Structure 1
Amino acid sequence: MTEQVAALKNDSRECFNEVYESHHTKLYQYIYSRTQSSYLAQEVVQLTYIKLWETRSRLADDLPIDIQLFRIAKTTLIDELRKESVKLKYNNLVSNSAELLYEDNQLTDKDTLTHVYAAMENLPAMRKKVFKLSRVHGFTYKQIAGILSISPKTVEHHISKAIKQLRNSIKMFFFLW
């Protein structure tokens, strides 16, 4: 058993610090040469030392610490690259799904709007006039009553009936769609 492995197995923080100081730069350069990413190299080196400390009791007695340290780093790098790959696939999937949903919603909105306009055209003549003056042109009930020479209560009645009729038409549209 090497002295460093034995010391680490005996929970020696001094030995851990010594291993860290003597191998940190080499380990960082090794990972950086494989990834060309300083962020990923820093992450993998940090995770490597965490794993070294957490698994110190299971270190091989017959292998030098540097070989074991680099093995831990290599498997940690592979794990991190797999995680990144999964994230990229997931992000692409989410992005593509969002685009498809947006396009579907655009079509749905367009179809719904087309259906609402068609349903408005199917309203009885006076109800259609009152509804368009109110909802399309923005006139108040009192103004519509003055334009069409009817009472504001009649305008309110026509609007109420038009909304109910359009609501039923839209419900049927979504039920069939």
Structure 2
Amino acid sequence: MESIVQDIKNGNIESFKMIYQQYHAKLYFYVLKCTHSVYLAEETVQLSFILLWERREKLSANFNISSQLFRIAKSVMTDLLRKQQVRNKHTESMIRETPNWHMETDISVKEELNRVYHSIEQLSPVRKNVFKLSRFEGLPHKEIARQLSISPKTVENHIVRAIRQLKDSLLLLFFLIISSLF
């Protein structure tokens, strides 16, 4: 095993690949068992092998490669958990400081969606039907053309005109809202 450590220290990529193949799954399941997080396990394993390669000159021939790799992984895992804890504290702090923010956002999003739906309902019946089949049901132009017995080019024209009409009506609505504020 000492020769493996020395090979990696010397930059032997084949020895590194062999260690990667041998310890990747073991390291992954070790971290997964400790953190119960697939993301943290994947991230820790990836960063551990990167650090092993980047700091290969500092490897000790007195210890086997697995103990050095697992020591690196433990350090990386601790660091990631610490960062996650800090992120969680900041998120909780933001939520406490702005408790109504998400409610206000939800309300404004619902209002915007209502405006969009209202604008869609203002389209001509055929154009509205084509637009809904395309955008809400995700049907391709050929399928819409087949269902409505019209050409795919007509479907495309309806969609282009519907989008233009929706942009115009929503832009007009936007200007009306802005002008009412001043």
Greater Rg, structure 1 or structure 2? Answer: 1
- Structure 1 counterpart of 2:170: none
- Deviation at 1:40? 1.1
What is the CA–CA distance in structure 2 between the aligned matches of 1:91 and 1:70, rounded to whole Å?
Answer: 31
Note if 1:30 corresponds to 2:30: yes
- Structure 1 counterpart of 2:172: none
- Deviation at 1:38? 1.2
Cα deviation code 1:111-139 (max 9, x no counterpart): xxxxxxxxxxxxxxxxxxxxxxxxxxxxx
Structure 2 counterparts to residues 50-65 of structure 1, below 5 A: 50-65=50-65
- Letter of the 1:4 partner, please give it: I
Note if 1:3 corresponds to 2:12: no
Give TM-score, length-normalised by structure 2: 0.53
Structure 2 counterparts to residues 73-84 of structure 1, below 5 A: 73-84=73-84
What 5-or-longer segments of structure 2 have no aligned partner?
103-182
- Structure 2 counterpart of 1:14: 14
What is the CA–CA distance in structure 2 between the aligned matches of 1:60 and 1:90, rounded to whole Å?
Answer: 39
Report runs of 4+ in structure 1 exceeding 6 Å deviation.
none
- Structure 1 counterpart of 2:70: 70
Give TM-score, length-normalised by structure 1: 0.55
Cα deviation code 1:55-84 (max 9, x no counterpart): 101011200000000000011110000000
- Letter of the 1:16 partner, please give it: F
- Deviation at 1:101? 8.3
What is the CA–CA distance in structure 2 between the aligned matches of 1:62 and 1:54, rounded to whole Å?
Answer: 19
- Letter of the 1:21 partner, please give it: Q
- Deviation at 1:100? 7.7
Identity %: 40
What 5-or-longer segments of structure 1 have no aligned partner?
103-177
SS at structure 2 position matched to 1:29: helix
What is the CA–CA distance in structure 1 between the aligned matches of 2:15 and 2:73, rounded to whole Å?
Answer: 19
Root-mean-square deviation over aligned CA pairs: 1.8
The number of aligned residues is 102
Structure 2 counterparts to residues 27-176 of structure 1, below 5 A: 27-99=27-99
